[in-house]
């Protein structure tokens, strides 16, 4: 090609659908660097829904004719089916999901009618709307996964109401507890995680569509119309905030990170408890793997990977916080970097919830190993001190006396429960009975009957509350899903 032919080629109108300002094609390296279609295709269904609502609103206010509205909606519905069946061809040269769908719409119904769809909107308010719908439905999916895990934990807790093991602080044996009480601790943590996702959904009530690029529109848009059509209660109140903010995304990433930390803590215990040194549980073969070299190994790979992926989800939160921290109002292209962290955290969390639920539901508990560990007499030292408190001894004084008693037993390899009344009086004169009467495993458990304690009746009551709460909230989510069957699967 001659230089003159090359100049003429460069002078041809741009192939960009929004490119009247440009005379040259985008450099191929820039196309690769700025393209987001390889990840934002996850928003395709939401983009189609938003575009249909926008087209209907445009006709509602008289900006497009009824025939144009019908053609646009039918074309978008066809594209939605193509996306759902995998027949849609995504083109990286078209940069993002919005332009891929609009380009296909031009093919389906012609450029003149398709060109009317973008009336009164920008990709800035379009992506904010897509993302809000995605977050709303993905938060609900995470909630469902959390409640499934809580159901598995409460089911196993009811099964092991009378299984006793040591509770730990600093990974040192501390006091005896029921296994049900231990697992209900995670039920409580996960309940707060689910509530945080529910709070997020309750905050995603305002629709950004109609905010335009950043200043609204001179056209007579009916923002309440599109908000209602997309399941929002009202339009966003400030056009600049509508396109400049990603705090809902940050809240999702924060909640996902906190939940993953809780899953990681569960996973850590599954790893430790399944070791030969503890031997408290055995993971199902379905949630374990072997060694490529050592045939005897049964590795807790599933909880280890959950524990490892937690770092990624935490990193995703930090990544978006870092992107947003220095951006002036309003939209900046940096904000394209919000989607990969969101999509990755969503799929990672939902997968982690699923495999953790399966691991908990199928593991075997070694009740005897837990009981042997719980028979450690030193777990009853606090009960011995509290026996003195009931006799009127100040707690600090009682604590010091029992500390000396414990040191004596350790030094002389004695069982704390073997000490007689006379032996105990050598450490404090207020002791009025032998240790075997003052500190027993049953009393240590049943005596802790205050709210939140490990006494059997207290644990049963807490379990019933958790089960009832779980059932109620699962029913609520299922009703919401039935009323809006287009819920997202973030995976």
CB atoms within 10 A of CB 108: 17
State the DSSP code for 487.
-
439's CB contacts (< 8 A; 6+ apart) are 377, 380, 381, 383, 384, 387, 416, 417
Tell which residue, 62, 73, 58, has the closest CA to residue 118.
Answer: 58
Strand segments, DSSP code E, in 234-389 are 234-235, 281-282, 364-365
Task: Answer for the pair 216, 210: CB distance below 8 angstroms, yes or no.
Answer: yes
3-state class (DSSP) for residue 427 = coil
3-state class (DSSP) for residue 165 = strand
3-state class (DSSP) for residue 304 = helix
378's CB contacts (< 8 A; 6+ apart) are 173, 406, 409, 416
In this structure, the dihedral spanned by the alpha carbons of residues 363, 368, 372 and 373, taken in order and rounded to 10 degrees, is 10
Is 291 noted as a catalytic residue in this protein? Answer: yes
Residue 97: what are its φ and ψ, rounded to 5°?
Answer: -65, -35
Q: What is the DSSP string of 185-225?
A: HHHHHHHHHHHHHHHHHHH--EE-TT-TTTT--SS---HHH
CA 247, CA 240: separation in Å to the nearest integer?
14
Enter the tokens of residue 314: 């935490």
- Out of 291, 418, 420, 449, pick the active-site residue: 291
Q: What share of the chain is helix, strand, coil (3-state, %, to 5)?
A: 65, 5, 30
Task: Answer for the pair 217, 200: CB distance below 8 angstroms, yes or no.
Answer: no
Burial degree of 294 (CB within 10 A; 0-12, 13-18, 19+) = exposed
Omega of the bond prior to 330 within 30 degrees of 0, cis? Answer: yes
- Out of 28, 89, 170, 483, pick the active-site residue: 170
Residue 451: what are its φ and ψ, rounded to 5°?
Answer: -55, 130
Is 28 noted as a catalytic residue in this protein? Answer: no
Rg (the chain; Cα; Å): 31
Residue 213: what are its φ and ψ, rounded to 5°?
Answer: -65, -35
CA 6, CA 19: separation in Å to the nearest integer?
20
CA 239, CA 223: separation in Å to the nearest integer?
11
Residues with active-site annotation: 170, 291
């Amino acid at each position: 090609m001659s230089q003159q032919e090359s100049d003429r080629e460069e002078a041809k109108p741009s192939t960009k659908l929004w490119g009247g300002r440009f005379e040259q094609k985008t450099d191929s390296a820039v196309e690769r660097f700025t393209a987001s279609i390889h990840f934002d295709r996850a928003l395709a269904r939401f983009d189609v829904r938003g575009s249909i609502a926008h087209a209907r609103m445009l006709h509602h206010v008289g900006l497009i004719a009824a025939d144009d509205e019908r053609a646009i909606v039918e074309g978008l519905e066809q594209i939605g089916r193509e996306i759902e069946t995998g027949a849609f061809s995504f083109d990286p040269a078209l940069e993002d999901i919005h332009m891929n769908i609009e380009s296909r719409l031009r093919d389906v119904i012609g450029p003149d009618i398709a060109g009317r769809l973008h009336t009164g909107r920008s990709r800035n308010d379009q992506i904010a709307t897509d993302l809000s719908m995605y977050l709303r439905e993905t938060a609900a999916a995470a909630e469902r996964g959390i409640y499934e895990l809580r159901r598995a934990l409460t089911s196993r807790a009811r099964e092991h109401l009378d299984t006793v093991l040591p509770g730990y602080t600093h990974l040192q044996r501390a006091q005896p507890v029921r296994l049900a009480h231990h697992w209900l601790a995670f039920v409580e943590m996960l309940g707060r995680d689910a509530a945080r996702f529910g709070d997020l959904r309750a905050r995603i009530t305002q629709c950004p569509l109609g905010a335009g690029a950043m200043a609204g529109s001179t056209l007579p848009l009916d923002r309440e119309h599109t908000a209602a059509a997309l399941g929002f209660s009202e339009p966003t109140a400030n056009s600049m905030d509508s396109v400049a903010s990603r705090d809902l995304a940050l809240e999702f990433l924060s909640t996902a990170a906190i939940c993953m930390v809780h899953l990681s803590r569960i996973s850590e215990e599954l790893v430790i408890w399944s070791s030969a040194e503890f031997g408290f549980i055995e993971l199902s073969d379905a949630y374990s793997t072997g060694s490529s070299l050592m045939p005897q190994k049964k590795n807790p790979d599933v909880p280890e990977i959950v524990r490892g992926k937690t770092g990624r989800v935490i990193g995703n939160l930090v990544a978006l916080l870092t992107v947003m921290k220095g951006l002036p109002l309003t939209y900046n292209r940096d904000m394209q970097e919000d989607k990969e962290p969101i999509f990755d955290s969503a799929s990672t969390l939902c997968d982690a919830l699923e495999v953790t639920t399966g691991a908990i539901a199928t593991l075997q508990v070694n009740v005897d190993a837990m009981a042997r560990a719980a028979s450690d007499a030193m777990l009853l030292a606090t009960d011995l001190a509290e026996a003195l408190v009931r006799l009127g001894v100040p707690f600090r004084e009682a604590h010091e006396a029992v500390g000396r008693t414990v040191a004596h037993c350790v030094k002389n390899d004695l069982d704390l429960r073997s000490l007689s009344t006379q032996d105990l009086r050598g450490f404090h004169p207020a002791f009025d009975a032998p240790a075997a009467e003052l500190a027993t495993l049953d009393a240590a458990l049943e005596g802790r009957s205050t709210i939140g304690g490990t006494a059997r009746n207290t644990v049963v009551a807490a379990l019933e509350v958790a089960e009832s709460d779980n059932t109620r909230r699962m029913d609520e989510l299922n009703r919401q899903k039935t009323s809006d069957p287009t819920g997202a699967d973030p995976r």
